[in-house]
Structure 1
């Protein structure tokens, strides 16, 4: 096969195919005596797997998976796949938690501090974001943690953690901070949840689409692994 043969199947440019090979997303191609690349069905299978992984996990993770495969580090490749599924499961759990909470929202004050209160570092670690991101959400009015009187450090209660989980979910769904501040404010005050319901339904649809994409990608990656010499 020529680069154009692989490119045509996916509507890509031949340069894109060559770039994918150069970046390690495809196995190295043999060359003719005159220097032209020769691709095989194995390369076609690799390209199908890579593009499906992009749709399921994003370009960076898809590239990491393919590079690990071509380095014969299958454990690393599968770990990256597992992390994607783990993140999807966490997103589903957070979504379900928030949807359940909608029916129980009241205008009562937030729960009293408990032994499970978290520091900013613990919350950032839980969400896999930086402390600077948490502070940015606070500046946007999304989070309103109290301060420890003795140390001045932020203290995040169960209600704050719920708001942060919701914020993280909506940020991955592409929602701007201004919109999230409104949605989280509605959760906090129970002053109407229509926009929250709409946002959660949109994100549920995205999670479903991503889950299906992961199934497709897993099948194509498995087919590629079986096709390799």
Structure 2
């Protein structure tokens, strides 16, 4: 088994950035790069962007880092995997200046967001399974199986204007059969609207929904749609794991310059 070098400045670091009397040990840029997995230039760029605190400078201009900078870089890697690099940079800059309570709430909110995205994707899967079951039910094309725009909007819990917008985008195709050319939705249009509503609730933008709806008209349409939703669930799981891996380092960032209030 390969063992870490005993000279590594990051060996044994605790969540609060300490390490057996080595808390104040100074690290060079190359040391931080090696410990964090980033290149020397990336370390400098991330410092400039505020991902890590400004490094101390010696009289000759060389940068000097501590274990807190390594923690911040590890935290950034995981947080960027969970929410994207732009939001991760903003969050880390704010976490260092907020109270522990506010910082902890911000991190918890990311966990809640990922859980909500997963629930929405699962609901979309369930809706698609139910709709697919309807298409296999004999006799579902009865002539009386139509809805007005008001009825369908109420059934989907959306605004009538949303249905009109989906029609303009080519996602739903209602019939116009009355003398006033009012919209009437037969079962095929109702199914389309239900799928669009499920996908929109799951966070898909209009271009992605258009692609999915197009796949439904191909022979492998339903299977392709399920595959796309499963891919979304897999990505959410990957983002969640990235956030979990960043947990201890995020805690180190949050507590680096402050301690939680005493419970005494």
TM-score by length of 2: 0.62
For residue 146 of structure 1, report the CA deviation from its aligned partner: 9.4
Is residue 200 of structure 1 aligned with residue 226 of structure 2?
A: no
Query: Which one has a bigger Cα radius of gyration?
Result: 2
For residue 201 of structure 1, report the CA deviation from its aligned partner: 2.1
Q: What are the superposed Cα offsets for residues 62-111 of structure 1, whole Å, 9 maximum, x if unpaired?
A: 11211112323555544543443233222222222122223322245576
Between Structure 1 and Structure 2, the one with more helix by share is: 1
Q: Compute the RMSD of aligned alpha carbons.
A: 3.8
CA contact (8 A) 2:68 2:256 kept: yes
Q: 1:18 to 1:212 in 2, by over 3 A?
A: same
Corresponding residue to 2:213 among 172, 175, 181: 181
Between the aligned partners of 1:57 and 1:160, the Cα distance in structure 2 is: 30
CA contact (8 A) 2:56 2:65 kept: yes
CA contact (8 A) 1:142 1:163 kept: yes
For residue 33 of structure 1, report the CA deviation from its aligned partner: 0.6
Between the aligned partners of 1:146 and 1:7, the Cα distance in structure 2 is: 62
CA contact (8 A) 2:71 2:253 kept: yes
Q: What is the correspondence of 1:1-229 to structure 2 with a 5 Å cutoff?
A: 1-74=27-100, 77-105=103-131, 106-107=134-135, 108=140, 112-113=151-152, 114=154, 117-119=157-159, 135=165, 139-143=168-172, 160=193, 163-167=196-200, 169=202, 171=204, 176=208, 178-183=210-215, 193-228=222-257
Q: Show structure 2 runs of 5+ residues with no match.
A: 1-26, 183-189, 259-264
Q: 1:146 to 1:6 in 2, by over 3 A?
A: farther
Q: What are the superposed Cα offsets for residues 6-54 of structure 1, whole Å, 9 maximum, x if unpaired?
A: 1223442322212211222111211101111100111111111111111
CA contact (8 A) 1:21 1:28 kept: yes
Higher relative contact order (CA 8 A, sep 6+): 2
Task: Give the count of matched residue pairs.
Answer: 206
Deviates further, 24-33 or 102-111: 102-111
Q: Show structure 1 runs of 5+ residues with no match.
A: 124-133
CA contact (8 A) 1:65 1:78 kept: no
TM-score by length of 1: 0.70
For residue 143 of structure 1, report the CA deviation from its aligned partner: 4.7
CA contact (8 A) 1:2 1:39 kept: yes
Deviates further, 103-112 or 32-41: 103-112
CA contact (8 A) 2:215 2:224 kept: yes
Between the aligned partners of 1:55 and 1:70, the Cα distance in structure 2 is: 19
